[in-house]
Every structure is written in structure tokens, then in C-alpha cells.
Structure 1
């Protein structure tokens, strides 16, 4: 009788993270049909339609459970979304623990794989005497920073943002302090302390699964793997794991694709800031004028301004975003541009031959999707580790142009027009297009079923888990 190997996944209530870890789960059970995955999901409210659509599209050998929503009544009404996520994770830990214990007692559970934001789960594996891994839905460069953050904290004095020289992280390209993730911009803050504490817990993992492929960050991945015998957990590059098809059937998707069908090959700039990113009113104005000044064709997924720069509920549609555009913008750009409110099927858009560039917030899902479809980038980072990703894309891989901000943190219209024209019709853009085309080929090779780098890595892990199910050491 065939033995089913059981793996538990622990997600976090962040749409982009959830999408990534579910793509990993789908890839795992596609390659190994005798593995069953159960996904445990903490929540701070009823899942939105976009989230529900992700789960409804899962194959039968991935099951899932939503934990009871956490009571947030003691928090202010306008609490930052990042705080809501942190509180949800910490208050859900007893529920996660109980769910894992129940699963362990009723199935052949051999490993737990938890999102990199919920490292508190790692000790649960030791308690249950099973393997415990971290799924890291970002770059090996960020992982290096996390693993070496305690060392940097001890050896560098003052604020990172004030340093005159770039910071050297083992195996990575040098990076300015101002481009480090948000929690590192204030070393006296609570977020910085929590960042260091969470990073220390990574060392409890039996391994860290990184959503990237060897050829994209070869030096960084190699440097991490060379340190495995000296305390750093095993690092497995198992990407690029991206959504291949839309889970949502929305009318706006049909409209977008019909409009793109009428455009010339490689002529349209796609503009989107991910599942949660928003711009200020001033920045929306400058972006609109910049798109108009560029004279290029564009497809812009637009959201209303938000005081946090990020929305907690990606399904909320309370306002008409077009009301925040400059007067007459839609009329003046009619035929040359298309503005879509709130949401569009990014994978279908990036796969369309009319798309010649992507003005992107440098979130890792969007970045990998642009690589998989070979779309050159304009890097426009907003928050979290996105500035770090922008450095990798522009200075390291040279597949993006980065828009420069002024002293108020605004990208001005002239700068926007300049980078758009450079990317779509300039000589610099042609070089970027060729490098991205080469990277696209490497990404496709990494996921081939016949012995490619990422596929082989994931298969080796799966065989290890299957042997544990059979009682083979």
C-alpha cells in the first residue's frame, strides 16, 4: 500500500506571502503526487474574495484550514496593516500549535514549513520531533541580511541610513544603508528589535527554502551554502514559483486583454504596485503627468491614496480611483492609455506580447513574474525590502532602471517621463531587454522537470520527507 507523506504549511495573513507559499505547495504536490499538504492559515477577519479564489483553485492533495479570526477590538481603528499582521501572528500561535499537534496525531506528518514572518513556529517542530523549515518568499540577498543582521548590529555603530559607505553583506552586492528594509532605518525602534529577534529564530530551522533560482543569485546562494557547516541552516533555492494563471474571473481582465490586442508588440508600459501598494495624491499626480509626458502607451492599475501606503484588505473597493487623477488626464490619454481601477490579472497582462515594460514596486512576486515573462523593469520601490530588491535588479542584474526620488521622496514627472522613454524606446532599454531575455531562459530552465536546478533541489527534499514517512533515516 502506498504511503502518503504529510507536510504542514503555516502561512501568514499577507496576500503576497500566501500566494507564494501556495504556489510552492502546488509545485511540490505536482512533482510528488504521494505528498499531501495541509495549509494552516491565521486570520484577522473574513478572507476576501481574492484570497478565497486562491484556495478554491488548489488541487485535491492540498487541504487547508482557516483558524478562528483574532479579536482586535483592543487595537485602534486605524492601526497600520503591518501591526495587524504581527498581532495576528502572535495571538494565533496557541491555535497554530494546537492545529499542528492534532495533525501530527492523526496523520503521517513529517515536516512543518512556515512562512518567514512566522519564525515562532520553528520550535514546534522540535517539540513534535519532526523537521521544521522556513519558506522564504524573497531574495537570497535579503536572507543573507537576516542571517547576518546580528553581526552587523554588533560591528556597525550609528544609524545605517547615515553611513557614507555601502554596507557589505557576505555574498551580496554592496548596498547603501538607506536601501535596507524599513525596520533597519531606525535602530532605536521596536521594529528593529523585532527584526533581530525574528532573524535569530531562523537558526532553529532544519532548512530555508528560498523562492529564487540559483542562476539569478548564484554568488549569494553559493556563499550561504558554503556556511552550512558553520551554523547557518541549509539553504534550498526552489524557485521561481509564480502564479501561472489568474484565479479571478473579472470583467476588467477581459477589457485589458482586448485593449492590449490592439496595441503593437512591446509598445505598452504596464504600471502596477502589487496587491497592496498605494501612492500619495501628490505622487499620483506626478505619475499621471509623467505617463502623459512620455508619449508612450500604458496600462495603469490605479488605487486611491492611502495614508499608510499599503492596504490591509485588497478586496475593498470603496472609492472611484479615477477621481484622484489630474483633470482631463483620461481624455487627453484616451486611446494611448488604459486606467484600470484596483485590480487586474497581472500574469495574463505580463504574458501578453504588447507589454514592453513594467513599472513595478519591486515586490518579489511581481519581480519574479516579470523575469518569467521576460519583461524589463522600472524599479519604483515603496516599502518593506523593496528598495533592496531594486538594488539587486538595477546594480546587480542590470535588468531595471530605477526612478530617482526628490528630497521629499516624490518621483517627479520629468524623471518619470525620462525613465519610461529610456526603457521602451532608448538604447539603455534595449540592453536591459536583452539581459532580461537571457534571465527568462534561465528561469524556464530552472523549473524543467528533467533534472533542472530548482526541480532537483525540491525533489531531493521530497525524497528525504518520503523516507521519513517510511521510517528510513
Structure 2
């Protein structure tokens, strides 16, 4: 049996959940590699994608991995296209093989903890079965976590007739900068209470209260009040799990022998002159909205690098297998690519986001406000245009615009919610015009946050101390 303590990590399907967990494992082992090694047990919906395999192949030798037998999507009997039940059910159907893998792991290592994604919590009972500690590696920020831990009480206390009023407000502990309306909260609560989306999400929130600790990808200067509320248990009437803010945990720019097309193009652009436009790994827009963005970018006159995806009326349709087979460029307005050849670069489906945000020519980010993208933009000091689509992204957008004031947000048409070209051009100019006072103030504020993020991760920083506290707790349990 190995002397190092072993931590088993179980992500749920989706790069947005796998990558933060991998980056956390790297960070833990960077600081405490003499004490631990990590094994990933990865539930899969079908065979692993080439991009997933490419990510796994870059892992250091003290991170091991096992792909659990793939689950057939037909066996999940999904009632809706929402990804939450899909992720949860994939893990649930993987429990027999997960138990086998944990049994094998415990027989040959000193297994001390099970670290789960929030949507892998169906595996929580296995921690008790193997007499090990349980943790969530939470993939969003402290504000959303505070909401989710307090949500079960909210669900109990609010009549269904009131809850269906999307204009009703809810005070989230530690988030005094906003009284969130129901329509601003994570997507699953917008479904009817009897739906599988709502009930599975509520179950996730209830199970989150039962773990030993929650590892949050945030840092004190980013969400001080929300972190304080969580650590003092203000989100609950009962004792809450220990909370460890260890962020920002983001991927680092890769050193490549071949220069990517996007980076090569950025190399020839002036400093801070390019607006990067991307809606994450799965965010999608309607055909009409794509047209308006295209005309708005053209009208703004500012340089842009746009990652275009096949249009859809479903905002998270990019997660659907098979969409990538189509060519997104063909859905742009006729003549747009040729007319803007000197102004912008359009790339289909995917781009090296970390390298783009870290590049000196990137001056702004039109973002869906996913938490990974938000942290990456903050780390690299890039102000944002907030354009939330689904999940908890509206909460993130309110944090960025109302509290941190490092982003602007288009309002869109009140009737059809479409953001028209004139407004798009206007917000682009607000954030990209270097003579605009508002834009200059945003740049200063986000650079201050970027500096604070670096301090948090420094040797004596708050996040490094939180990580050390977690490692100490895990080592004590291994004795």
C-alpha cells in the first residue's frame, strides 16, 4: 500500500465541470504533492471525445484516471433537453462501476477522500460505505453556492403560486448588492416544481448540505461577503459544511510549438484593440441574434475575434452531440466575413480561450458569464460585456455589473429580448474605446482584481492558506 494518501475525484460529464476539477487537482499536488496523489473516476455518456482524451493526456504522472464504462443516453429516459438531469443520471447509472473502482482503489492505496462535482452527489453514500471524507469541488462562485445551500429552506417556505412569479425577489445570504429576482436564479428553479429538472436540482442542493466540506473556486477579494456568510453558516439554520475558497483555479496558457491561427492573428493587432466574443463550450444563439451580433460588430468599427457556433433556439444546444458536424460560418449574414476581413477574425466552434485572454492585443470579452470564463477574464484583467444565457450565468452577470463594476450588460428589447445591432455597437464602444471614461474605470477595477487574484494564490495568500487548511484536514483523517 502506498504511503501517500489517495483522493478519488468524480466529475460529471461536460468540460465545464471536468476542467475545474483537473485544475484543482493540479493545484493541490503542486503545493502538497509529497502527501497526496489523485485518481479521477470519470463517468461518461458515450465514448470520451478526442478533446477529453487530449486533456487527460497532458496530466502529470501523480494524477491517474479511469474512464468508467460509457452510459447509453437512451437508458436515461430524459424528459427534457436540460443538461442537469442528464449529468446527474449519467453519474447515477455509473454507480455500480464507480463502486467497483473505489473498491479496487481502497485495496491498494490509502484512500482518504471522495471529491465530487455538485452533479455527482448521487455517489455521496459511497464515501460512508468506504469510511472516507466527502467534499464537493464546486464549479461556480460563492454567491451561487450560498443560494443553493439556502434554496431547500426557500422551497419549503414559499407557496408554489408565489414561486412561479419570476419577478419575486429572493435575498441570498452574503449578496447584499442585489435582491435577485427568481428569473435571475439558476435555470432549474424556473421549471415547474413537479418537473425532473426542478426535483433533481433541489435534490442536489439538499445533498450539498451533507458533505464534510466544499471547495469553492473563488477568492476573498472577489466575493468577500458571500464567503463570510458561507463560513459563518448564515446560509443555513443548521451547521454547514466547511468552506474552502481556493481560487481562482484556472488553466494556464499552453506553450505550443505551432502558433494557433487565433494567436497568430492577434500577434498583428494593436495592444488592447480586440474584442473576444465567445459563449463558452456549449452556449448557442438563435439565427436572428447571430445576425444582430454580426451587424453590431461591423457597425462598432472595433476589431473582434468571434467564436461562432451553429444557431439554435435552445441556449445550451452546443452540448448536444453532433452539432459540431455543421459549419457555423455558413450561418453568418451573406458577405459579412469578406466585408470585415480587415476588422475581425471568425473561427468555427472553438478557440484557445486562455491564450486569447492572456494576449496583449485582447482588450475586451463578450462573454456568457460562465464561471470559468469569468475567472479567466478576471485573472487576465480583461473587462467584459455580460451576455448570460443559462444555468447560474445571470447571477454571475449581476455580480460583474452591479457589485464589481467590471462589465457592461446590454438590456435587449423588452418584448422579444433580442439585443439589436445598434445596442451591440454601443456597448462594444463603451468597453473598447480607450478614451471612454467608463471603459477606463472598468479596466482599472478589473486590473485591481487581477492583482488581488495573484496575491490570493501567492505563498501567504488567502487561497493558498485555505488549500493548506484543507490538506491538513485530509492528512489528519489519513492517520
Measure how far apart 1:467 and its partner are.
3.1
Report if aligned partners of 2:12, 2:88 keep a CA contact under 8 Å in 1. no
Measure how far apart 1:128 and its partner are.
1.5
Deviation digits for residues 188-239 of structure 1, max 9, x if unmatched?
3332222211111111100000011111000010011111894211111011
Report if aligned partners of 1:123, 1:204 keep a CA contact under 8 Å in 2. no
Measure how far apart 1:460 and its partner are.
1.6
- Are residues 1:72 and 2:43 paired? no
Partner residue, 2:450: 440
* Alignment map for 1:149-168 (pairs within 5 Å): 149-157=151-159, 158-160=161-163, 162=165, 164=167, 166-168=169-171
- Worse overlay, 199-208 or 44-53: 44-53
Measure how far apart 1:76 and its partner are.
7.5
User: Which of 124, 127, 131 matches 1:125?
Assistant: 127
Partner residue, 1:170: 173
- SS of the aligned residue for 2:94 comes to helix
- Are residues 1:386 and 2:387 paired? no
Report if aligned partners of 1:161, 1:178 keep a CA contact under 8 Å in 2. no
Report if aligned partners of 1:281, 1:324 keep a CA contact under 8 Å in 2. yes
User: For 1:314 and 1:284, how far apart are their aligned partners in 2?
Assistant: 21
- Tell me the number of residue pairs that the alignment of Structure 1 and Structure 2 aligns: 467
Partner residue, 1:377: 384
User: Which of 140, 148, 168 matches 1:138?
Assistant: 140
Partner residue, 1:276: 282
User: For 2:196 and 2:20, how far apart are their aligned partners in 1?
Assistant: 27
TM-score, structure 2 as length reference? 0.93
Partner residue, 1:52: 53
- Worse overlay, 410-419 or 343-352: 410-419
Partner residue, 1:459: 468
User: For 1:283 and 1:259, how far apart are their aligned partners in 2?
Assistant: 26
Report if aligned partners of 2:117, 2:137 keep a CA contact under 8 Å in 1. yes
Partner residue, 2:10: 10
- Are residues 1:19 and 2:19 paired? yes
Unaligned runs of 5+ in 2: none
User: For 1:212 and 1:334, how far apart are their aligned partners in 2?
Assistant: 39
User: For 1:313 and 1:350, how far apart are their aligned partners in 2?
Assistant: 26
Deviation digits for residues 162-195 of structure 1, max 9, x if unmatched?
2555321111132122111111113433322222
Unaligned runs of 5+ in 1: none
- SS of the aligned residue for 2:275 comes to strand
Partner residue, 2:233: 227
Measure how far apart 1:74 and its partner are.
4.5
- Worse overlay, 221-230 or 364-373: 221-230
User: For 2:141 and 2:243, how far apart are their aligned partners in 1?
Assistant: 12
Deviation digits for residues 247-298 of structure 1, max 9, x if unmatched?
9x797x6221121112111111000011111111111101101101111110
- Are residues 1:333 and 2:340 paired? yes
Report if aligned partners of 1:209, 1:236 keep a CA contact under 8 Å in 2. yes
Report if aligned partners of 1:304, 1:324 keep a CA contact under 8 Å in 2. yes
- Are residues 1:427 and 2:434 paired? no
Report if aligned partners of 1:81, 1:311 keep a CA contact under 8 Å in 2. no
Using a 3 Å threshold, how does the CA distance of structure 1 residues 33 and 255 change in structure 2: closer, same or farther?
A: same
User: For 1:139 and 1:76, how far apart are their aligned partners in 2?
Assistant: 31
User: For 1:76 and 1:322, how far apart are their aligned partners in 2?
Assistant: 34
Using a 3 Å threshold, how does the CA distance of structure 1 residues 349 and 315 change in structure 2: closer, same or farther?
A: farther
Measure how far apart 1:427 and its partner are.
2.1
Report if aligned partners of 1:276, 1:314 keep a CA contact under 8 Å in 2. no
User: For 2:265 and 2:444, how far apart are their aligned partners in 1?
Assistant: 26
User: For 1:352 and 1:337, how far apart are their aligned partners in 2?
Assistant: 16
User: For 1:62 and 1:195, how far apart are their aligned partners in 2?
Assistant: 30
TM-score, structure 1 as length reference? 0.94
Using a 3 Å threshold, how does the CA distance of structure 1 residues 141 and 3 change in structure 2: closer, same or farther?
A: same
Measure how far apart 1:352 and its partner are.
0.7
User: For 1:198 and 1:388, how far apart are their aligned partners in 2?
Assistant: 18
- SS of the aligned residue for 1:311 comes to helix
- Worse overlay, 74-83 or 161-170: 74-83
Report if aligned partners of 1:48, 1:313 keep a CA contact under 8 Å in 2. no
Report if aligned partners of 1:48, 1:315 keep a CA contact under 8 Å in 2. no
Report if aligned partners of 2:186, 2:391 keep a CA contact under 8 Å in 1. yes
Measure how far apart 1:73 and its partner are.
3.4
- SS of the aligned residue for 1:142 comes to helix
Measure how far apart 1:98 and its partner are.
2.3
User: For 2:53 and 2:162, how far apart are their aligned partners in 1?
Assistant: 42
- SS of the aligned residue for 1:204 comes to coil
User: For 1:11 and 1:69, how far apart are their aligned partners in 2?
Assistant: 14
Using a 3 Å threshold, how does the CA distance of structure 1 residues 298 and 160 change in structure 2: closer, same or farther?
A: farther
Report if aligned partners of 1:160, 1:178 keep a CA contact under 8 Å in 2. no
